Amino acid sequence: MTQPIRRLLVANRGEIARRVFRTCRDLGIGTVAVHSDADADLLFVREADVAVRLPGNTPAETYLRADLVIEAAQRAGADAIHPGYGFLSENADFAREVLKAGLTWVGPAPESIEAMGSKVESKRLMAEAGVPTLDNLAPDAVTESDLPVLVKASSGGGGRGMRVVRRRESVAANVDAARDEAASAFGDGTVFIEPYVEQGRHVEVQIIGDAHGTVLVVGDRDCSVQRRHQKVVEEAPAPGIPDDVRTALHEAARLAGEAISYQGAGTVEFLYDEQKQRFYFLEMNTRLQVEHPVTECVTGLDLVELQVGVAERRALTELVPDGVPAPRGHAVEVRLYAEDPSQDWQPQAGGLGAFEVPSDLQFVTPTAYGVRLDSGFQTGDEVSTYYDAMLAKVIAWGPDRRAALRRLGGALGRARLHGIRTNRDLLVEILRHPDFVEERLSTAFLSDPDVLDRVNGSGIPSVPPSEQGCALFAAAVACTEEVARRRPVLQAVPAGWRNVTSAPQRTSFEADGTRVDVGWLGGRDGYVLADVYDEVGPARATSIEDLGDGLWRVVVELDGTARPFDVALDGDRVDIDWSGGHWAFTRVPRFVDPADQVAEGSLLAPMPGSVIALRAAAGESVTAGQPVVVLEAMKMQHTINAPHDGVVTEVPVSVGTQVAAGDVLAVVESTSSTRSTDSTTSEETS
C-alpha cells in the first residue's frame, strides 16, 4: 500500500535543499526548510513553503541536531524528511528516530545505513556477496613491500580521516592523526589500512532499490579528479571502460544492493586499476550523491523523484516501467569551490560581489544538450566559515565527451565570480588539459605539477602580457572615472586631465603581494597608456561606459585591435572580466595609514574562523615552520606556522576566539635570518 507524501522537510541546506524542493514542486509536495542563523537569508530558505529556524551557526548546534530537526518537521506539519547529503544523511540513529516519530524517511532502511556505515564491516559483507575487495592491513604488520598504503576512517567520508603513507616509519603517526580527525568529524575514531593503488580511477555505480526487492542499476560515473580525496570533476558515463568491465561493475553494484535489501538511491564506489582492468569495492554511500546530475542528464531520470516514489512504497516497475534508459550523450560536472588552489586549497569566506554563471536551466536537466546549474548562492550572498566550501555544481551535457568538455569550459570562462577566490581557473585548465581530454585519468591527476603550474600562483591569468597590460589600464581608467564621479567640484573637467603633461600619472594594484604600477596620461585625447609592462605598446581607451553599481565597461584599443573590459569596483577591490578570464586586485592607496600597518613577524588569519588550538605561548622560542596556531574554518583545520626562527612575543587570541581574515593571531620576533616562504599550511597527509 502506498503512503503519499504531502509535505517534506529537507534536513539540509543550500544547493541540495533547493534541488529537492524543485522536484517537490513538480510533484505537488509542500516543502519545509530548516536553517541556521548564518543561513537565514539564503535562497533555499526563501524558496521553501515553510522555514524553521535552528538557533545557532555551527553544524553541531543546528543541522546535526536530530531532535531539533524532527521537532521542526512536526511543528511545520511535515510528514516526511529527506536528508540530502552530508550532515545526518547516513546516520542510522537519525533514520530510526524519524520513523519512530511517525514520519516517512526518504532514504534506505536504518539497517542498510548501518551495514554500509562502517567501511570495515561493509568490506566484509561485500566479500561475502562476491564483490571484489582490497585486503585490510594491520598497522604493525605493514612492510616496505606494502607501501604505499592508505589509512582510512571507517565512518564518514569526504576525505576526512584519510592519509596516504609512503614511509613505514610514518604509519603509526598517520594512524593516530587519522583517528583524531575521524573522531572529531564523525564521532568514531576507527580506522583501517589498505593497499594504495597509485594510478587508480574512482568509478562508481548508481543504484536504486524499492521495498519490493528490485534493485536497478542506473549507470556509472567517473570521479577520479580529486583534491584531498574529495571529488572535483565527475562525469557519466565513465569514459574508456571496456564493455566487459562495465558489465561486471554493474553486476557487482547490483549484488551489493541486494546483499543488504537496499531501498532508495545509493552509490557503490569502486577503485578501478586500469592497467590490470580490475576493480575493488571502496564503500557504499547510502544517500543521494553530489554528482547525481550527470546521471540524470544522460538517462533523463529524476533521481529525487525516484527517491520519493520508493519512500511512498511504490514499485520501481511502476516508476520506471520501461526500465533504465541507455545513456544518451555525455555529461560532465565540476564542483565550484570557494577556495584558492594556489594557496594549498585554502577555503575562502566572504561576500559574493558577483555570482553569475551562464546556464540554460537550474536544477533541471535540459531537454536538449546544454548547461545546468545547481547552486545555493546568488550575487550578494555571504559565504560563511561554518560549512562546506562548495558554491555550485556546473553541469554540461553534450552529444559526446569532447563537446561536453568544451561547453562546460566555455560557461565557466564566461562566469562573473567576484568577492572571494574560487577554483574556477583550475577547473577550466582541467577541462582543457590534454591528459584529461584524452581520458588519461587517475586519482593522482591533481598531483601532477603540470596541472597546477598552469594556474599562475600570483592570481594573474595565463594570457599574453599585452592583454594583461590592457586589462590593468582599463582598471586604472575605471578607478579614475569612479573617483571623478564622486568629487564635489570640477565636474566638467575630464578625470586625469592635465594642461601640460610632464610625467604619467600612476595607479597601483596588488594581488598576492605582487604590486603593479600602471602609468597613464589624461588629456584632450582621453586616456593613453604610458607604461605597465615593457612588452606593451601604446594603448588608448576608446570608450568608457558607466553601467552603474560600480561596474564600468572600458574598451581599450592596441595595435588596431579593440578589447572590451568589464571592471567592477567595490571599495579597494577591483575585478576585471574579459575574454581572457578574470583578474582580482586590490587598489593600493597612495598613502598608508600607520594604524593599518602590522608588526613584522605577525601571523595573520588567512580566512575567518575559530581558534581551536595554540601550539606556542608568548615567550616561547620557535623554529621556522613550527605550528603556532590552529584555525578551524569550513569543516577543515588550518595550521598557522612560524615564518622564521624567533620568539613568540604576542598571542592576542585564545582557544575559541572567532577571528576575521587578516586578524593578528601571534607575533614572532626574528632571531635568525632564515625565512620560510609560506607560514600557512593546511592539515594534510604525509
Mean predicted confidence (pLDDT) in 681-685:
39
Please indicate, yes or no, whether residues 327 and 440 belong to a single structural domain of this protein: yes
Query: How far separated are the first and last CA of the chain, in Å rounded?
Result: 54
Beta strand pairing status for 201-209 and 264-273? antiparallel
Q: At what angle do helices 14-27 and 303-311 cross, to 10 degrees?
A: 70
269 found inside a domain: yes
Please indicate, yes or no, whether residues 487 and 633 belong to a single structural domain of this protein: no
pLDDT attached to residue 190 = 79
pLDDT attached to residue 193 = 87
Whole-Å CA distances, 487 to 526, 527, 543: 19, 19, 21
CATH of the domain at 521: 3.30.700.30
Please indicate, yes or no, whether residues 448 and 478 belong to a single structural domain of this protein: no
506 found inside a domain: yes
Please indicate, yes or no, whether residues 363 and 226 belong to a single structural domain of this protein: yes
* pLDDT at 683 > cutoff 90: no
Lowest mean pLDDT among 214-223, 586-595, 632-641, 646-655: 586-595
Please indicate, yes or no, whether residues 225 and 358 belong to a single structural domain of this protein: yes
CATH of the domain at 172: 3.30.1490.20
Please indicate, yes or no, whether residues 320 and 252 belong to a single structural domain of this protein: yes
pLDDT tens digits, 272-306: 999 889 999 999 999 999 999 999 999 999 999 99
207 found inside a domain: yes
User: How many structural domains are present in the chain?
Assistant: 5
570 found inside a domain: yes
* pLDDT at 596 > cutoff 70: no
Beta strand pairing status for 230-236 and 264-273? unpaired
CATH of the domain at 308: 3.30.470.20
Please indicate, yes or no, whether residues 150 and 91 belong to a single structural domain of this protein: no
Mean predicted confidence (pLDDT) in 33-61:
97
113 found inside a domain: no
114 found inside a domain: no
Mean predicted confidence (pLDDT) in 429-448:
90
Environment class of 469 (CB within 10 Å of its CB; exposed 0-12, middle 13-18, buried 19+): buried
pLDDT attached to residue 1 = 79
d(CA 19, CA 375): 9
C-alpha angle 522-523-528 in degrees, rounded to nearest 5: 45
Kindly state the percentage of the chain with pLDDT values over 70.
Answer: 90
| Active site residues per annotation | 287
Residue pair 7/79 in contact (Cβ under 8 Å)? The answer is yes
482 found inside a domain: yes
d(CA 602, CA 674): 16
Task: Residue 38: give the domain boundaries.
Answer: 7-106
Residue 153 or 34, more confident: 34
* pLDDT at 462 > cutoff 60: yes
d(CA 201, CA 278): 11
Question: Alpha carbon 299 to chain centroid distance?
Answer: 25
Mean predicted confidence (pLDDT) in 346-366:
93
Question: Where do the DSSP E strands lie in 501-608?
Answer: 505-511, 514-523, 526-531, 539-548, 551-558, 561-570, 573-578, 581-587, 602-604
Phi, psi of 114 (to 5 degrees): -65, -45
User: How high does pLDDT run on average in the chain?
Assistant: 88
Please indicate, yes or no, whether residues 433 and 509 belong to a single structural domain of this protein: no
Residue pair 135/195 in contact (Cβ under 8 Å)? The answer is yes
d(CA 430, CA 409): 9
Nearest one of 327, 160, 295, 136 to 223, comparing CA atoms: 295
Mean predicted confidence (pLDDT) in 506-522:
88
With cut-offs at 50, 70 and 90, classify the pLDDT of residue 233: very high
pLDDT attached to residue 156 = 62
* pLDDT at 494 > cutoff 90: no
CATH of the domain at 67: 3.40.50.20
pLDDT attached to residue 679 = 46
Environment class of 540 (CB within 10 Å of its CB; exposed 0-12, middle 13-18, buried 19+): middle
Please indicate, yes or no, whether residues 610 and 575 belong to a single structural domain of this protein: no
Q: Which helix (H) or strand (E) holds 224?
A: strand 215-227
pLDDT tens digits, 611-637: 888 999 999 999 988 999 988 876 677
pLDDT attached to residue 335 = 98
Please indicate, yes or no, whether residues 497 and 567 belong to a single structural domain of this protein: yes
Lowest mean pLDDT among 191-195, 198-202, 617-621: 191-195
Please indicate, yes or no, whether residues 150 and 209 belong to a single structural domain of this protein: no
d(CA 444, CA 19): 31
Which residues are within 8 A (CB) of 613 and not within 5 positions of it... i.e. 6 or more apart? Answer: 629, 630, 655
Whole-Å CA distances, 463 to 89, 456, 468, 469, 542: 44, 10, 7, 10, 22
Mean predicted confidence (pLDDT) in 563-567:
96
With cut-offs at 50, 70 and 90, classify the pLDDT of residue 257: very high
Mean predicted confidence (pLDDT) in 529-538:
74
* pLDDT at 420 > cutoff 80: yes
Q: Coil, strand, or helix at residue 606?
A: coil
DSSP per position, 77-109: T-SEEE--SSTTTT-HHHHHHHHHTTPEESS--
Whole-Å CA distances, 143 to 169, 171, 659: 10, 10, 44
pLDDT tens digits, 380-406: 999 998 999 999 999 999 999 999 999
568 found inside a domain: yes
CATH of the domain at 626: 2.40.50.100
Choosing from 167, 195, 223, the residue where a domain stops is 195
Choosing from 177, 195, 213, the residue where a domain stops is 195
In terms of phi and psi (left: phi > 0; alpha: psi -120 to 50; beta: otherwise), the region of 261 is left
Choosing from 399, 419, 453, the residue where a domain stops is 453
Residue 498 or 645, more confident: 645
Please indicate, yes or no, whether residues 219 and 305 belong to a single structural domain of this protein: yes
Residue 520 or 265, more confident: 265
Residue pair 267/207 in contact (Cβ under 8 Å)? The answer is yes
